[in-house]
Amino acid sequence: MNAETHIDASTDATGGTPASPASGPLTARGARTRAALVKAARALFERKGYLDTNVGDIAKRARVAHGTFYTYFSSKEEIFGEVADDLQHQLLLAAEDEPHLPPGATLSERIERANRGYLRGFEQNARMMGVFESVATFNPRLAAIRRANRRHFVQRNTASIRRWQEQGLIDERIDPGYAASALGSMVDRSAYVWLVLGEPFEFEEAVIQLTRLYCNALGLPYHRDVGSDGHSRRA
């Protein structure tokens, strides 16, 4: 393990103490510089990993002076947190970019759309997701960001499952929080195994199987398994 792992956020990799980032709104030029630093940091984290990337690397790739980095970020750890926040945004955008369903779409069709969107977003950001997972195992502050990002998805799904119970669609004995956590973990961990660890899979079949398992766990009919007469095709 690199010594940088345990460096406090107030000290950079060279041992110096950087100035605090400037506060207040950024100028247009400042916003461009900050965005260039974040873009450079992400590219380096993906290529070299967190431990082998340093502030000097990021500044050089962004084509700014080393000291300019500290105008916007106090440490490598802070800019990684910014990259992580953007990563969550990219996952949400991918889900929203999926084709909209027609009015009257079944609940299982909506779940399938969400699973496809998440898997698509993970696929588009797989290298950074792998780095994020790795860093969360040894950096407590960045692990907290990982937990917060996961909590966002779990809370959203918990609310959905609770609403479905109120509509009488799901067994009231199912705990919404546990169900959202377990089923979300199934989708997230499967994506990690397939897209980061490289276990073979076929995208659309993966979406179908994950959704079938999700629906079965909640006791919901899966539209692909129900015929036009409303009966199961497996009956």
| Phi/psi at 196 (5° precision) | -105, -50
Q: What is the mean pLDDT of the chain?
A: 87
pTM over 0.85: no
pLDDT tens track for 188-219:
999 999 999 999 999 999 999 999 999 999 99
Q: Which domains does the chain have, with CATH numbers?
A: 3-74 (1.10.10.60), 78-225 (1.10.357.10)
Tokens 């997972």 map to which residue? Answer: 133
Angstrom distance (rounded) from CA 164 to CA 48: 44
pLDDT tens for 61-106 read 999 999 999 999 999 999 999 999 999 888 888 878 888 899 999 9
Which regions of 93-210 does DSSP assign to beta strands (E)?
A: none
Find residue 232's DSSP bridge partners: 226
Q: What is the pLDDT of residue 66?
A: 96
More confidently predicted of 199 and 232: 199
Mean pLDDT on 39-67: 97
The amino acid at 147: R
3-state secondary structure of 116: helix
Over residues 125-134, the pLDDT tens digits come to 999 999 999 9
Helix (H, G, I), strand (E, B), or coil: what is residue 232?
A: strand
Band of pLDDT at residue 24, cut at 50, 70 and 90: low
Comparing 96 with 147, which gets the higher pLDDT?
147
